[in-house]
Amino acid sequence: MLLSLIKPSISCMSLWHPSLPYKSFYGGRTCASLADEWMSETGKAWTEMLSTYSWAETACRVIEIAESLDPEKINQAFPNVDFMSISGRVKIIPEYHCSPSPFYVIQWVKTNKPWVWEAEIVWCADPSIKPTHDIIFPLP
């Protein structure tokens, strides 16, 4: 398994983490509760792919704004998307066909959990996203 080969202090950019302070637009589920539910049901570590939850939220929100399943009306609704999702604010910028996301850095940290390695936030310019671990530097 790839994660068993990871050494401490490897870092990368990430788009989702259980400690993020956001809630689902639909039902108010938190990032932490989504990760807890995943780990409880699968017995595996949470994964950044849980961010796809916000993609489903965005699709539902666009259809609600369009008030139709007609592809043209859905396309016209995208510039009107502006809501808080489980991954943060989703505001489509028409010129770029996307919504900017918060940027933060994670590092893999060794844990005593069955999956051994876990991604921890070590830096973010956005003050609403707090680090969950001190940066590992210099290398251990």
Backbone angles phi, psi at 115, to 5 degrees: -90, 0
Q: Is 73 within 8 Å of 66 (Cβ atoms)?
A: yes
Give me the number of domains the chain comprises: 1
**Domain-located, residue 10:** yes
**Domain-located, residue 8:** yes
What pLDDT is attached to residue 6?
Answer: 53
> pTM for the complete prediction?
0.81
pLDDT tens for each residue of 82-136: 999 999 999 999 998 889 888 888 888 888 888 888 889 999 888 989 999 998 8
**Domain-located, residue 133:** no
Give the C-alpha distances (Å, rounded to integers) separating 128 from 20, 22, 80, 131: 8, 10, 25, 10
**Domain-located, residue 29:** yes
Q: In terms of residue numbers, what domain contains 79?
A: 2-124
Residue 1 has pLDDT above 60, yes or no: no
What pLDDT is attached to residue 17?
Answer: 92
